[in-house]
Amino acid sequence: MGIRQKLLSFLFSQLILVLMVSNHSNAMGLKLGYYHKTCPNAETIISKTTYRFISRAPTLAAPLLRMHFHDCFVRGCDGSVLLNSTKTNISEKDAIPNQSLRGYHVIDAVKSAVEEACPGVVSCADILALVARDSVSMIHGPYWKVPLGRRDGRVSILNEVFAELPAPFANITQLKQMFAAKGLNTKDLAVLSGGHTIGTSHCIGFTNRLYNFTGKGDTDPSMDPKYIVKLKQKCKPRDTTTLVEMDPGSFKTFDEAYYTLVAKRRGLLQSDSALLDDPKTKAYVILQASTHGSTFAKDFAESMVKMGQVGVLTGNQGEIRKHCALVN
C-alpha cells in the first residue's frame, strides 16, 4: 500500500471515529430545535397548552414529571407508557406502579393542538418530554433545553414495568443497578430523586415502614420515630386511598426541602431513605440540605436531559402516533 493510500485509509478511519463520537454525543439523532422547519411553533403550542392546565392545577406538575420518568425507564423515552391496553395485550399503563399516574388528558390536549398545526410531525414521546420540562418550570423549578427527535414506540408490555422501574421499596444497591442499566450514574440517582420535592404518595407506598417492616409488627429503624408517629395519624395499616405529601409544607414547590427531610431521616419512601446508605448519594443529600440546594436546579436540569435520551428511537425507527394512546 502506497503512502497516499495509507493516508486516505487513515483519514477515512478518523472520519468514521468522528461520526461515531458525534452520533453518540447527539444522543443518537436528538437535537435542539428539531422541529424548526417542520413545525416551527411546536414548542410554543406545547408550552401554552400545558400552561392552561398547570395554571389551574399546579399539582399536575408532579404526575407529569413522574410520567416522563416512568416512560424513560421502560423501553426508553418512546411514549410507551401512554399506550392503552388492547384485547390481546395489557400495556404499561395498567401496571400497578402506573395506575396512580395522572395527567394523560394534558398530553392528549397538547397532542391535539399540535396535530391541528402540523399533522403527523411531532411525536408523543417528544411531547411528554417537553410537557414534563414546562410543568416543572411553571411551578418555579429549573428550566432545561430539551433535545428533540424522539419517535414513538409501538410496543408496551405490563410485565416490563416491574423489571425496569425502580420500586418505592428498593434499597440503594438495587437503585444504583437500575439507574446504571439506563446509563445514569450515582449522582443522577441522587439528583433525580429530588423530583420527590413535589407530589404525593399513597399510604400503601410506605405503610410497611410504619407497621410491619420485617414481618414482626415493627417499624423501620432508619426512619425518624417522631415522623412515624405523625404518619400513623394519616395512614392506617390497610389504607390504599389516602395521599400523603412527599415534601410536607412545600409539596407544590420545586425546591431543595426534600434533601433537608431525607437528611433528617424523614424521607417518605424506602428509596428516599436509601440515599443515606451510599457515601456518594449521602454526600449529595448533605450538600443540598446544608447549602439551600446550591447546585440542585442546575444538576436537575442536566440529569433530566440525560434521562430524556435513554433508549430513544430516532430516524426511521418507530412512528409518529396520530393519537398518543393508540399505535397507528
Catalytic residues: 70
255 is in an annotated binding site: yes
3-state SS, one letter per residue, for 244-264: EECCCCCCCCCCCHHHHHHHC
247 is in an annotated binding site: yes
Quickly list H helices, 181-318. 186-193, 207-211, 225-234, 257-263, 270-273, 279-290, 296-307
- Length, in residues, of the chain: 328
152 is in an annotated binding site: no
80 is in an annotated binding site: yes
Report d(CA 303, CA 305) in Å as an integer: 5
Extract the C-alpha cell encoding 228.
Answer: 412515624
290 is in an annotated binding site: no
Report d(CA 303, CA 153) in Å as an integer: 23
Report d(CA 316, CA 152) in Å as an integer: 10
Extract the C-alpha cell encoding 231.
Answer: 404518619
Other Cβ atoms closer than 10 A to 280: 15
Residues 6+ apart with CB under 8 A from 286: 259, 263
Q: Which residues are annotated as a binding site for heme b?
A: 196
Q: Which residues are annotated as a binding site?
A: 71, 74, 76, 78, 80, 92, 166, 196-197, 247, 255
Q: Which residues are annotated as a binding site for Ca(2+)?
A: 71, 74, 76, 78, 80, 92, 197, 247, 255
Q: Which residues are annotated as a binding site for substrate?
A: 166
